[in-house]
Each structure stands twice: as structure tokens, then as C-alpha cells.
Amino acid sequence: MLDNVKSIVAVASGKGGVGKSTVAVNLALAMHLEGLKIGLLDADIYGPSIAMMLGVSDNDRPKSTDGQTILPLTAHGLSTMSIGYLVDSQTPMVWRGPMASGALKQMLQQTDWGPLDVLIVDMPPGTGDIQLTLSQTAQLTGVVIVTTPQDIALLDAKRGIEMFAKVEIPVLGIIENMSAMQCSVCGNFEPVFGSGGGERIAQSYETKLLGQLPLDKRIREHGDIGTPIVLGHSKTPAAQSYISIARSLTERLSSKGIGASPDIIFD
């Protein structure tokens, strides 16, 4: 039920391992801290992770009041839904593409999201069934592409951008993750994975570099214990980077008319 959702934003990447889910969770929380009503949908059917990152227990299961719609679980102020809430954390989703796509449609359309300013969708890596299903099921406001500065990640990020272009979904911006690591001894920043990649790809596709995020072990540590760094260490440079990106994304959405509800397409 997306009638009262003003904007739907996919957080995507062309490949795994770039920290996309961590970015999606902290970005959603940063937008929530800025006063927006935010929902978070984990669209990674085969590798759901937001339950752990948000500290949701295996014992917490979504409920239904009418037997037809599902109430999202509230975590740190976010309205959330994930296939990880519906199965045991040790259960692998051994499903073919159509089954995974069907599960995504159910979570998207049958969750009673209520009024939201933005629904963030944490996408799986790649350019396959889930990406196509989402683009055909709901009118996305746009997509945010997460990449690291290294060339191989940029190559896959370009594939992701090209895929969304084919289904006419605008790219709202690029987020460069793991852009540099601060030395714990000397304090200097070292671009472990290279530098300038996010800016180059943003310029190539005439979009905006929303921001750069550091390679900081505290981001991983707080995700592992269910209190993302935006909440656990809000004054750190890493958390402030997320908040800055959230503001930039909100500005982009405002310029595209955040008040307009998306058109929902049902089969």
C-alpha cells in the first residue's frame, strides 16, 4: 500500500561488496533524524541484512490486522520490511527468479506503509530480476548509485546506471563509499581504493556526487550490533557525512517534487 508514500528511492550498486546496505540503512536513519518520515524496504531477497543492522530480533515478526496487509516493523523510528523478518535467519532462500520477484511485490504492495515522505529500497547487487520487478511495479522517483573509487567498482556502477536508464529511472546521485581511511597514528587520510572515481562517474552521467564516506571500522562495528553509526556516534565525521548526504538527497527530491505520490502499477 503505497498510496501515502510521497517518494520511492532505490539504493543500488552494480556489484556487491561496496557497502550498499550499510549506506541505505544509515542514509534512511539520517533522513529520519532530519525530521522526515522514512520507510526502509530490504529488497535483497537472497541476502537480507537490515534486520541485523537495525537490531531486529528473530522473535519480532510482522503482524496483520486484517489478514490481507502486513504492518511494518518499527526500528529506530523507521518503518521497515524485509524477507528476513518472515523467515529464520539461518534459512536460505532457495528460490528461482519469479518467486523472489513475487516476494518483493508482496512486501512492496501489501505492507501498510502508512504516510511516508520517502521509502528507501535497499536493492540487491546487479541488474537482474529484482531491479526489473521494482521498476515495473512502482514508479520510482529515482535511484542512488553506491560505488567505491576503484575502477572495477566504477565499471559495474556504470552498468547499473545504464540499466536504470533503459527503464527510464533517473539517477539522483552517486555516493562514493570507502573513499579514504584515516590513519590512527598520524591522522592522515589514505585513499586505499583510489580517488576521484565517484566524481568522474557523476560527471560522465551528468548527475551529482551526493557525498563521500570514509572507510571507518566503527561503521562496520555499529552495523554489526544493530545501532548504526548515525545513531551510535552521530558526531563523528562518518555520521556527519551521512547526514550531509541525506540533506543533499532531500534537496534533489524537493527539486523533483517530493510531494507527488508515485504511480503504482499492479499486475
Cβ(262)–Cβ(9) below 8 Å: no
Residue 89 is predicted with a pLDDT of 65
Q: What is the pLDDT of residues 54-105, one digit of tens each?
A: 999 888 888 887 878 899 999 999 999 998 888 776 666 666 777 888 888 8
Q: What average pLDDT does this structure show over 120-140? A: 83
Which DSSP category does 123 fall into? Answer: P
pLDDT digits (tens, 9 = 90+) for 187-231: 677 766 667 778 888 888 888 999 999 888 889 999 999 999 999
Amino acid at 25: V
Top CATH class of 5-43+114-255 equals alpha beta
User: Residue 257: what pLDDT?
Assistant: 56
Grid coordinates given for 94 = 532457495
Cell numbers of 140, please?
520510482
The pLDDT of residue 260 is above 50: no
Distances (CA, A) of 201 to 10, 11, 54, 96, 155: 18, 16, 31, 33, 9
Domain positions in the chain: 5-43+114-255
